[in-house]
Amino acid sequence: MTDPIADFLTRIRNAAKANHKVVEIPGSKVKEAITKILHEQGYILSYKFIQDGFKSTIKIALKYHPETRISAIKGISRVSRPGLRKYTGVEDLPRVLNGLGVAIVSTSNGMMTGKEARAQKVGGEVICYVY
């Protein structure tokens, strides 16, 4: 696998479309940071990091609307990829769906949303869009 972050996002996207309650994903520090942001922004219900020696796993409980069973994640897409990195300055940070979605950005201060990066006046690599 050449792009583990794209695999992470694809597993979440596929589980949400298939109405799964829980999805298990091989873990890493970058995936942990993205998962924490998704939980803080209200896109996932809960998460759990499981460490088995050298191997780590992330269990994510997906969030659905209680009556209609529609996923909280309508779309999740990778922006910067290994073949074409997308870096942006603070003045050019993207707004997803005119502020309704979230851009996850990897900055020198760590992984954060586009709104937080704008507030801290730092740019970085745009990892993905979530809406």
Q: What is the domain-level CATH number for residue 85?
A: 3.30.1490.10
- Tell me what pLDDT residue 41 has: 96
**Residues shown for the chain:** 131
- Tell me what pLDDT residue 18 has: 95
Number of domains in the chain: 1
- Tell me what pLDDT residue 106 has: 97
DSSP E strands, the chain: 22-26, 44-52, 55-62, 76-78, 87-88, 102-107, 110-113, 124-130
- Which stretches of the chain score pLDDT less than 70? 1
- Tell me what pLDDT residue 72 has: 95
pTM, whole model, 2 decimals? 0.92
Which residue segment(s) compose the domain that 63 sits in? 4-130
- Tell me what pLDDT residue 58 has: 97
